[in-house]
Amino acid sequence: MTSAIAANTGFTLNDIDIGLRVFDALAHHAHAMHGAPITYTDLLTLARKLQPKDAALGRAVPVGIGMKLRFVSGFCAAYGHPDLACLAVNRATMRPATGDADAWEAECHAVAAVDWSAARPTITTYADTVRATVPARLKPRKERPADVAWYAYFCSHRSACDKVTQHDKQEIINLIMAGLDPDTSLRRVLAAKADFSEEP
């Protein structure tokens, strides 16, 4: 296994927790659909069906899926599996955010051939290792204080927030709940929009 510390490029505890649910949904989909792609929105819908009482998963939006997919990719790379996250695609292009089309199709076929149920115990171990690398300063908050923090930031930075949609706002609040400050949360969402935004 490669170093989980090297794999952590800014994960929050929410990224890891939802990343585990995304892994389960992708593994289920890979088996049921023989490696066919799934849109970010449909992936989150499937994850919610598999975990209907998960409140954090219920708040997840497609624009926030990038870090969850990066978590899944990091696990696959660390344990020598084909990249399960390759199945997740943008609805507009039906392709992943980045990568070569031919290599992507080969990866989808490789993913379909894996028994992902056997990988479940190792991804739990991987998640525990990556959790240990999350900075202690990222203390989770409840939804109401996160919403208040975002509103205060929004009121004093309206021009910077003029392109923020309702889904963007939800992901910003998710990130603030995960311990990030409003400015970092906004920058992370704006950076993710080009690759991972997908209106339901």
| pLDDT tops 80 at residue 16 | yes
195 contacts 98 by C-beta, under 8 angstroms: yes
Task: For tokens 């739990």, name the residue.
Answer: 124
| pLDDT tops 90 at residue 196 | no
**What is the pLDDT, as a whole number, of residue 91?**
85
**What is the pLDDT, as a whole number, of residue 199?**
55
- Is 44 found in the same domain as 15? yes
Share the mean pLDDT of the chain. Answer: 90
- Is 163 found in the same domain as 112? no
pLDDT digits (tens, 9 = 90+) for 110-133: 999 999 999 989 999 999 999 999
DSSP assigned state of 88: E
| pLDDT tops 70 at residue 5 | no
- Is 103 found in the same domain as 188? no
Segment 20-42 mean pLDDT? 95
| pLDDT tops 90 at residue 9 | no
- Distance, in Å, from the CA atom of 7 to the CA atom of 32, rounded to the nearest integer, reads 29
- Is 75 found in the same domain as 97? yes
75 contacts 123 by C-beta, under 8 angstroms: yes
Last residue of a domain, one of 131, 156, 187: 131
**What is the pLDDT, as a whole number, of residue 90?**
86
Last residue of a domain, one of 81, 96, 131: 131
- For residue 138, being part of any structural domain is answered with no
Q: Which domain holds residue 112?
A: 4-131
- Is 183 found in the same domain as 126? no
**What is the pLDDT, as a whole number, of residue 33?**
95
| pLDDT tops 60 at residue 141 | yes
- Is 158 found in the same domain as 112? no
67 Cβ partners below 8 Å, 6+ apart? 10, 11, 12, 15, 19, 192
- Is 115 found in the same domain as 192? no
List beta partners, residue 39.
89
- Is 120 found in the same domain as 22? yes
pLDDT digits (tens, 9 = 90+) for 170-185: 999 999 999 999 999 9
- Is 156 found in the same domain as 122? no
pLDDT digits (tens, 9 = 90+) for 59-107: 999 999 999 999 999 999 999 999 999 999 988 878 776 667 678 888 9
**What is the pLDDT, as a whole number, of residue 97?**
67
Segment 20-34 mean pLDDT? 96
- Is 178 found in the same domain as 110? no
- For residue 136, being part of any structural domain is answered with no
- For residue 10, being part of any structural domain is answered with yes
| pLDDT tops 50 at residue 3 | no
Segment 38-51 mean pLDDT? 96
Count of domains in the chain?
A: 2
